[in-house]
């Protein structure tokens, strides 16, 4: 028994060391490109582009993502005409948050509004992709007088019976379990299975070139990415249901939704079509998948530009 325990201890230490090596390699390959802003509960990392006297667009990424999903190509296009802020959501990318309880939609909305208050942003257009769409909706419901418009890209707007298959490994309720897995087996496993996972997320389109660097893919090797993504999935899945009760009475912000007809992660008919009754009509992109901020940056930028100029 002592020998078995010793072997297990050595294996555990080896996994911890390997995880730390992969995390440091990821950070060296992809250091934080932006600036930081402290708010209650979080230190938020963001990239700012474009003229500061123009209309502000706030770009909010999805589950297990980071701001590189927008800076890959979309934010440069928008920065020609707008003041663009791409932000790592609390706990994601190079942003931090104080605890897993702050993963709930309401908490994220509070922290992002505090961030925008600190940056002096008054009436932004909120651009949310996937789970970032849920966060943008929560922000609009929290402060109905603040956003000038919502431009949602393949957003999660309604609860689902079960999480998309590609995200089910994140379903851990215990904060201790998240950290135990994150600092031992997750990073080495991610290194092995990431190509397959990315093909699922991008399907039916191919994974974009240089995703590891320009798209922020290296950051998936950091333990913090798994911890925040797991907490986000578990914390927000029930929150989305509470949003529906408020859409009809409290959703006052104009805007629209752009969905991919062939999205294999979130269904346009489930998450996009029903939002027309709440003032957010849906447009569709044929032949595209879920990751349109990177695979169709021009189409997404044109969509956002149209909404922003209509406000």
Whether 9 is covered by a domain: the verdict is: no
pLDDT at 237 > cutoff 90: no
Write the Ramachandran bin of 42: left for phi over 0, alpha for psi from -120 to 50, otherwise beta: beta
Neighbouring residues of 6: CB distance < 8 A, sequence distance ≥ 6 = none
pLDDT confidence of residue 17: 86
Examine the pLDDT at 8 and tell me if it is beyond 70.
no
Question: Which residue is associated with the tokens 């992109």?
Answer: 285
- Spatial distance between the Cα atoms of 61 and 87, rounded to a whole number of angstroms: 8
CA distance 38 to 16: 30
Is 2 contained in some domain?
Answer: no
Range of the domain at 214: 35-310
Work out the pLDDT band at 5, boundaries 50, 70, 90: low
Residue 11 is assigned to a structural domain of this protein:
no
DSSP notation for 204-250: TSPPPTTTTTTT-GGGGGSHHHHHHHHHHHHHHTTHHHHHHHHHHHH
pLDDT digit string, tens, across residues 40-99: 999 999 999 999 999 999 999 999 999 999 999 999 999 999 999 999 999 999 999 999
pLDDT in tens, 171-218: 999 999 999 999 999 999 998 899 999 999 999 999 999 999 999 999
Handedness of CA 232, 235, 238, 241 (dihedral sign): negative
For residue 50, give every residue at least 6 positions away whose Cβ sits within 8 Å of its Cβ, in sequence order, or none: 78, 79, 80, 81, 82, 83, 84
Percent of the chain having pLDDT more than 90? 88
- Please indicate, yes or no, if residue 94 is contained in any of the structural domains: yes
Q: What is the reported pLDDT for 37?
A: 98
* CATH number (domain holding residue 118): 3.40.50.1820
Tally the domains of the chain.
Answer: 1
User: Is residue 113 domain-resident?
Assistant: yes
Give the tens place of pLDDT for each residue, 259-308: 999 999 999 999 999 999 999 999 999 999 999 999 999 999 999 999 99
Q: Is residue 26 part of a domain?
A: no
Q: Exposed (0-12), middle (13-18) or buried (19+): which is 139, by Cβ within 10 Å?
A: buried
Q: Is 304 within the bounds of a domain?
A: yes
Q: Which letter, b or e, does each residue of 55-92 get, where b requires 16 or more Cβ atoms within 10 Å of its Cβ?
A: bbbbbbbbbbbbbbbbbbbbbebbbebbbbbbbbbbbb
In a domain, 229, yes or no: yes
Asked if 286 contacts 295 with a C-beta cutoff of 8 angstroms, the reply is no
> How much is the pLDDT for 12?
75
**pTM for the full model?**
0.96
φ, ψ for residue 277, nearest 5 deg: -70, -15
Burial class (CB in 10 A: 0-12, 13-18, 19+), 120: exposed
Mean pLDDT of the chain: 95
């Amino acid at each position: 028994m002592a020998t078995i325990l010793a072997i297990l201890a050595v294996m555990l230490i080896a996994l911890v060391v390997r995880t730390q090596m992969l995390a440091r390699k990821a950070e060296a390959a992809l250091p934080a490109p932006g600036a930081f802003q402290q708010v209650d509960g979080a230190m938020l990392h963001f990239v700012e582009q474009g003229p500061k006297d123009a209309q502000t667009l706030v770009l909010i990424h999805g589950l297990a993502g980071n701001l590189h999903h927008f800076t890959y190509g979309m934010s440069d296009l928008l920065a020609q005409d707008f003041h663009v802020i791409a932000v790592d959501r609390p706990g994601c990318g190079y942003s931090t948050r104080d605890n897993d309880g702050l993963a709930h939609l309401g908490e994220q909305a509070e922290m992002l509004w505090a961030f925008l208050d600190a940056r002096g942003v008054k009436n932004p257009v909120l651009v949310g992709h996937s789970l970032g769409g849920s966060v943008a909706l929560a922000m609009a419901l929290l402060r109905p007088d603040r956003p000038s418009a919502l431009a949602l890209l393949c957003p999660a707007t309604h609860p689902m019976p079960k999480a998309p298959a590609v995200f089910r490994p994140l379903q851990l309720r215990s904060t201790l379990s998240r950290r135990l897995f994150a600092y031992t087996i997750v990073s080495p496993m991610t290194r092995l299975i990431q190509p397959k996972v990315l093909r699922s997320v991008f399907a039916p389109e191919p994974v974009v070139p240089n995703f590891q660097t320009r798209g922020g893919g290296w950051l998936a090797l950091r333990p913090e990415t798994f911890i925040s993504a797991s907490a986000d999935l578990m914390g927000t899945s029930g929150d989305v249901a509470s949003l529906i009760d408020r859409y009809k009475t409290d959703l006052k912000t104009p805007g629209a939704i752009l969905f991919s007809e062939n999205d294999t992660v979130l269904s346009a008919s489930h998450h996009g079509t029903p939002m027309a009754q709440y003032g957010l009509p849906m447009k569709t992109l044929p032949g595209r998948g879920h990751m349109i901020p990177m695979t169709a940056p021009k189409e997404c930028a044109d969509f956002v530009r149209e909404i922003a100029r209509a406000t």
